[in-house]
Amino acid sequence: MNTPSLRPDADPVLRYLFVHAHPDDETLATGVALATLARAGHEVHVLTCTLGEEGEVIPPELAHLAADADDTLGPYRRGELRAAMSHLGVREHVLGEDPATHTGSAYRDSGMADTPANADPRSWVAADEAEAVAALREHMSDLAPDVVVTYDEHGGYLHPDHVTTHRRTRAAVAALPAQQRPRLYVVLSAQDEAAADRAWLPDVVDAAHGLTLLAAGEAYPPSVVDPALVTHEIVGDPADLAARDAALREHRTQVSVYDGGYYALSNDIAARLARADRFAALDPDTGALLPAPMAAEGAATLCEGRIVGLPAEGGR
């Protein structure tokens, strides 16, 4: 990739809102950006739409938490999220959480595509669309972020909750008055970097862990795109990456982090830990990705790892 790698400038200080579906998504998909922006002095928030109740549990001693056992994984993952964000200096919120006790949520994890959990009336995908969008819009209106970040239209890998989070976040931004709209960005991965990561893994993954290595020719998730579509990136320095790694280790029900720079989910497929997070600006009205020149105009902009084009009155 030819995108310059520049650390974000904290003058002026900006308010960021990252909207994710489940605890751990924020660190897996945007952990480098969260760490880098917070350490640079910006005000960074994560809003999580569900507690991830349907996730598979990796540690055997915690198997009783699963949805098909005690069904207490959600509150446990809420604690993991809180601990993870403490490493990053990020303020965390859960949609519909009790503000007094910081427990509960308005919506439940919908599970993977075509599973019975999709039909649960409490699930994020089954929720009333207008009510869910209104809840997100209200949160944005109260917080007044300069920048909102979420998944692209494919949700990374087509998880129903991720796709739904993209759609509703975009609708919530579009529903705000024009003068109150934050800039909207979506998370992307560049295919050249994804290919380089696959080529790197066989030389570093310890065979004793029993992890699967994907072959170079195997298909990529749909959010792995032509590098030309990636217009913004934040590259972490060693301190940022160390903070991200510490945060990810807190999500131990869902993620195994290994020395050497890689991790695996419950599917035991090895993946390289990101050194940078990449984005493109999105038009909330049309859903179209904005090319770099358009993305750099006007309000607060996450461009090439720093903020550009910010009007004088935009800082906090």
Domains (range + CATH), the chain: 15-314 (3.40.50.10320)
What pLDDT is attached to residue 303? 43
User: Residues 257-279: what's their mean pLDDT?
Assistant: 97
Q: At what angle do helices 25-39 and 238-250 cross, to 10 degrees?
A: 140
Average pLDDT over residues 258-277: 98
The residue-averaged pLDDT of 153-157 equals: 96
Q: What b/e sequence results for 129-158 when a residue is b if at least 16 CB atoms lie within 10 Å of its CB, and e otherwise?
A: eeebbebbbebbeebebbbbbbbbbbbbee
* CA nearest to 304, candidates 2, 3, 14, 1: 3
The band of 296, judged by pLDDT with boundaries at 50, 70 and 90, is low
234 has which bridge partners?
277
Q: What sign does the CA torsion over 255, 257, 263, 269 have?
A: negative
**180 with 22: CB under 8 angstroms?**
no
**Where do the H-state alpha helices sit in the chain?**
25-39, 73-88, 129-143, 155-158, 160-175, 191-200, 238-250, 292-295
Kindly list the distances between the CA atom of residue 306 and the CA atoms of 36, 39, 133, in Å, as whole numbers in the listed order: 10, 13, 29
Task: Return the higher-pLDDT residue of 28 and 293.
Answer: 28
- pLDDT for residue 272 is more than 50: yes
Contacts of 286 (CB under 8 A, 6+ apart): none
Residue 313 pLDDT grade (very low, low, confident, very high; cuts 50, 70, 90):
very low
Confidence at 124, pLDDT banded by 50, 70, 90: very high
Residues 204 and 230: beta-carbon distance below 8 Å: no
- For the residues 9-26, what does the mean pLDDT come to? 91
Instruction: Quote the tokens at residue 221.
Output: 């998730």
pLDDT higher than threshold 90 for residue 2: no
Mean pLDDT, to the nearest integer, of 150-176?
98
Q: What pLDDT score was predicted for residue 237?
A: 95
Question: Above 90 in pLDDT, residue 105?
Answer: yes
The answer to whether the CB of 150 falls within 8 A of the CB of 156 is no
Supply the pLDDT for residue 12.
Answer: 80
Residue with tokens 């060693």: 238
In this prediction, residues 280-297 reach a mean pLDDT of 84
Q: For 49-95, how does the pLDDT look when each residue is reduced to its tens digit (9 = 90+)?
A: 999 999 999 999 999 999 999 999 999 999 999 999 999 999 999 99
Give CA separation, 308 vs 11, 17, 105, 304, in Å: 11, 18, 36, 9
Q: What is the mean pLDDT of the chain?
A: 91
The pTM of the full predicted model, rounded to 2 decimals, is: 0.92
Percent helix, strand, coil in the chain (nearest 5)? 35, 20, 40
The reported pLDDT for the residue numbered 293 is: 64
DSSP structure class, residue 113: T
Please tell me the predicted confidence (pLDDT) of residue 165: 98
